[in-house]
A and B are shown apart, each in its own frame.
Chain A
Amino acid sequence: MRSILAHAVLLIVCAGFLCSCSPSETPAKRAAREGVLLLGNGAEPATLDPALATGLTEVRIIMALFEGLVGFDASTLEPVPAAAESWTVSADGKTYTFKISPSAVWSSGRRVKARDFLYAWRRAVNPALGAEYASMFLPVENAEEILKGKLPPESLGVEAPADDVFVVRLKRPVPYFLSMLCCTVFYPVPEEVVEKFGGALSRNGKWALPQNMVSNGGFTLKKWVVGDSVRVERNPDYRDAKNILLSAIEFFPVDNMNTEERSFRAGQLHMTNSVAHSRIEAARREGNKYLRISPWLGVYYYLINTQAKPLDDVRVRRALSMSIDRRSIIENLLKGGQKPAFSFVPDSCGGYKARALVGEDAAAARKLLAEAGYANPKDLGKIRLSYNTSELHKPIAEAVQQMWSDSLGIEAELYNLSWPAYLDDRRNRNYMITRSSWIGDFDAPESFLENFLSTSGLNHSGFASKEFDSLMDSAGKAKTFGERMEFLSRAEEVLMRECPVIPIYFYTRIYLASPMVKGWAENILDWQNFKGVSLDPDAGLEEPSLSAHCATKKDAPEGQK
């Protein structure tokens, strides 16, 4: 009896302890009082050198530290003045003249000059540096020859006739050139610092480390502990400092999505970078209290080897595309607000409206197969569908396999490959159908469609169409926006007609955000300049850890677009 009583008392004490304890002020709340944004940022950044950065992980930090000639409106992505206060475009659309803002200064106090851009661009395009995004310079005069080692970097079509004038000559008009300039590879770097800590062509130079870095953006680099965090602090000398409302940002590299969510709920983060697929439903059950879902400029698709039999017949390719129920995949598997992709270019990309749409029609697909000589689908043999190891690729492939079997009677074999083997197979076109995805570099349809030019190094499908190439070329030469969109629509019509790709869905960004975060603008590229972003420590009335278990549906998401 005594033993039972003792156990009961112990249990009551423990239960009381668990239920009554309320956490003291969380790190997120404390940081909010100090104006420090705590941001989950996915993986560890590989570099903070604007010329060498490739992933969104790095880009997000670099966009806080640096700014290029042209900035962007965080909501609309419209190009806005940044280091250049104004610009003019020649009548033929091939020469851009930028006027560098007199208030643009480096964090060292020196003025940003045109020669900083000259140095940075020549450095980035130099093949000896091996910048992975150097191909973004291809529209600039002589860039192609420089990248192939046929001309020196000094011959790049740029010049700095005065300290505050920077001229860019393009080899052909590029209507979306200003949007491209928002990409970090076009950002300036301080020559004297780069040369002092390793030199222009060093990939391992120490100039992009906290103790040495000089930047020209809204923040300066204060701390970078690999695996722990990157801390940037407000740059008081920044030309637009009045719009930087945060005192600092800490970027946390948390690659485990469950860890990231737990940290958010424990009050260690204001925002996560993502949400584990398996946790989306749970986050929704909170009445979207913290869950944010916004469109992202990316497409998930299946790439078809158009040279492999029986996929060399366009009718077979189109039948496969038409017999996939995209909405079912999204509703039953993804559940993250993705949009079904009936075109390759996402709608609303740079004002584009997709016209060529895949029709989902199993009966028409069977008819197409019959016309191709496969009235009996067994004659097609097995279709090999490969994908790399990932949480979602397998269930999507299984769903598609089932749909092809149910609608067309086609047998698909699934091949799960390691990442290197997957890349190797794709590069060598050693596949029939393979999973793929593409995230736009900038807000223009060309960022998607140019991959299918017959000359593109990224075109692994075997698709080559003179008509498509010619329409893309015409779009580049178009005089008006409407004319350009018309050519691009026609080019996509060719692409969808020839069907080297089966678009499945358009991506969304899915993350958790504390109500403390104000002024966070969402855009389809998920770019942030952190202007106007602020923190209200009193906005999060409930601590995330507690509300995670007692959420109601009354709370509408703030700032959700």
Chain B
Amino acid sequence: MIRYALRRIIFAVPVFFIIITAVFFMVRFVPGGPFDRERQLSPETLAALNAYYGLDDSLPVQYVKFLKNLSRGDLGPSYKYQNRSVTELVREKAKVSLELGGAALAIALTVGLACGAVSAMGRGRLSGALDAVSLAGICLPAFVVGPVLIWIFSLKLGWFNAMGWREARDIVLPSVTLALFYAAWIAKLFKDSEARELAKDYSRTAIAKGESPLRVAAEASRAALSPVVSYLAPAAAGMLTGSFVVESIFNIPGLGKFFISSALDSDYTMIMGCVMVYAIFIICFNILADIALALLNPRVAKELGVRK
């Protein structure tokens, strides 16, 4: 297993470099530049800015400089937020996004798995009701859920702030808004998978032999978790690296907002910083998901070539 994990990590390194290289060149080929303004800059000012940020060098030279700085952990200055370095901004903002994403992930997993399990084991109205709630969770976008929660719990009840990230309670509404969609998907995936496992011969035989249904369900959930784990890799990366919509609705100073604004502003260095964080999370969570799948399901372990 360790050898498998190491092999995956080694393979991840070139993948990471391919991603950042592709993004580095792609953003520079997009029309417009970081200093495009409605009030056009004079050629002299533009030349000064390009020289200051090294944008007057050829692209390969810029790329080499970027890699050199990256090796020192320096992502350069943000073109937009002039008194801050990208490293500083990403570190500061990623912390907020991690807190929000972590809380949302915990809620999504707890609620999603619990609802999925109850729905799979339950019969009739309860199962139907939970299915309907899951479907609603999948269909309701965050930009509807967030304002509704604010209307009830902030404007009407005054329990929470409508925006900001200052007090401990500020995490509640955004994380619930962010978690709802993922919780609904997890519930649906887990319910379908668990129901399939419970319908299999080994489960039915165990129950026929008098085994407790809860114990059987617990056993079956080991295999039933596989689709949830596969789904969790990109979902967790998405949640932890910040959601633009949720951060915008609650005005949270997280990375998600910067991801979008840096692309709109052609803030090359900031784009690279955001992409790198996202890429690292995606790669890491995919590796973790594969390892978890191998641990959960011996057949998957065999397919992946994992030796225990």
Residues of A whose CB lies within 8 Å of any CB of B are: 17-18, 21-24, 26-27, 44, 46-49, 52, 54, 127-132, 134-135, 147-149, 203-206, 208-209, 225-228, 252-256, 258-260, 262-263, 265-266, 268, 418-421, 423-424, 427, 436-437, 457-458, 460, 545, 548
> Of all chain B residues, which has the CB nearest A267?
B158
What separation, in Å, do the CA atoms of A48 and B92 have in the docked complex?
A: 19
* CB-defined A-B contacts under 8 Å, sample of 17: A17-B157, A18-B156, A21-B157, A46-B80, A130-B48, A131-B45, A205-B83, A206-B83, A226-B84, A227-B93, A254-B163, A254-B251, A262-B163, A420-B33, A460-B40, A545-B155, A548-B155
Not counting A21-B158, A46-B81, a sample of 17 additional A-B residue pairs whose C-beta atoms are within 8 angstroms of each other reads A46-B80, A47-B83, A130-B49, A203-B77, A226-B81, A227-B93, A227-B252, A227-B258, A228-B166, A256-B249, A262-B150, A262-B163, A266-B150, A423-B38, A427-B40, A457-B40, A545-B155
Q: Is the interface of A mostly helix, strand, loop or mixed?
A: loop
Task: Say if the beta carbon of B266 comes within 8 Å of chain A.
Answer: yes
> What's the nearest-Cβ distance from chain B to residue A145, in Å?
11
Task: Decide yes or no whether B2 CB sits under 8 A from chain A.
Answer: no
B257 within 8 A of A: yes
Q: Give complex CA distance A225, B77 in Å.
A: 17
B248, A255: Cβ atoms closer than 8 Å: yes
Give the shortest distance, in Å, between B12 (CB) and chain A (any CB).
Answer: 30
Contact B77–A147 (Cβ < 8 Å)? no
Assess A204 versus B92: contact at CB under 8 Å? Given A130-B49, A263-B251, A266-B154: no
- A48-B251 Cα distance, complex, nearest whole Å: 21
Q: Which residues of B contact A46 (CB under 8 A)?
A: 80-82
> B273 interface residue, CB < 8 Å from A?
no
Closest to A48 in B: B83
A22 to B81 alpha-carbon distance, docked (Å):
40
The interface residues of chain A lying within 8 Å CB-to-CB of B163 are 252, 254, 259-260, 262-263, 266, 268
Nearest CB of chain B from residue A299's CB, rounded to whole Å:
13
**Nearest CB of chain A from residue B140's CB, rounded to whole Å:** 17
Is B211 interfacial (CB-CB < 8 Å)? Answer: no
B253 and A49 form a contact (CB under 8 A): no
In the complex, the answer to whether B48 meets A266 with C-beta atoms within 8 Å is: no
Of B39, B83, B84, B165, the contact of A49 (CB 8 Å cutoff): B83
Is B254 part of the contact surface with A, judged by Cβ < 8 Å? yes
Which residues of A have CB within 8 Å of B89? 226
Residues of A within 8 A of B162 (CB): 259, 262-263, 265-266, 268
Whose C-beta in chain B lies nearest to the C-beta of A150?
Answer: B44
Minimum-distance CB pairs A-B, first 5: A420-B32, A227-B253, A23-B158, A266-B162, A130-B48
A134, A208, A427 interface centre (most CB from chain B within 10 Å): A134
Q: Chain B residues near A427 (CB, 8 Å)?
A: 40
A266 to B163, CA, bound (A): 9
A259: B residues at CB distance < 8 A: 162-163, 248-251
Q: Are B155 and A265 in contact (CB under 8 A)?
A: yes
Given contacts A27-B161, A458-B39, contact A258 B155 (CB under 8 A): no
Cβ distance B257 to chain A, nearest Cβ, rounded Å: 7
Residue among A130, A203, A208, A419 with most chain B CB within 10 A: A130
Identify which of A52, A129, A130, A424 contacts B31 (C-beta below 8 A).
Answer: A424
Indicate if B58 sits at the interface (CB-CB under 8 A): no
- Across the interface, which residues of B come within 8 angstroms of A148, CB to CB? 44
A52 CA / B80 CA spacing, docked (Å): 11
Which residues of B sit under 8 angstroms from A134, Cβ to Cβ? 45
Q: Is there contact, CB below 8 Å, between A545 and B156?
A: yes
B164 and A228: CB pair below 8 A? yes
Give Cα distance in the complex from A149 to B42, angstroms. 12
Chain B residue nearest to A228 (CB atoms) is B253
Assess the A208–B31 pair: CB atoms within 8 A: no
Other-chain contact of B155, A27, A227, A266, A457 (Cβ < 8 Å): A266
* A256 in complex: contacting residue of B165, B248, B253, CB < 8 Å: B248
Contact with A along B27-42 (1 / 0, CB 8 A): 0001111001111111
Interface residues of B in 156-190 (CB under 8 A from A): 156-158, 161-166
Contact between B248 and A127, CB atoms less than 8 A apart? no
A residues in contact with B250, CB < 8 Å: 259
Chain A residues within an 8 Å CB radius of B41: 132
On whether the beta carbons of A204 and B32 are closer than 8 Å, the reply is no
Contact B253 A226 (CB under 8 A): yes
A436 to chain B, nearest CB (A): 8
Q: Which residues of B contact A226 (CB under 8 A)?
A: 81, 84, 89, 92-93, 253
Checking B85, B156, B248, B257 against A21 with a beta-carbon cut-off of 8 angstroms, the contacting residue is B156
- Chain A residues near B37 (CB, 8 Å)? 54, 132, 423
Set of chain B residues within 8 Å of A18, measured between Cβ atoms: 152, 156-157
Which residues of B92-149 have CB atoms within 8 Å of chain A's CB atoms? 92-93, 96, 147
Q: State whether A419 touches B32 (Cβ < 8 A).
A: yes
Query: Given contacts A130-B49, A132-B39, A226-B92, is CB(A22)–CB(B158) below 8 Å?
Result: yes
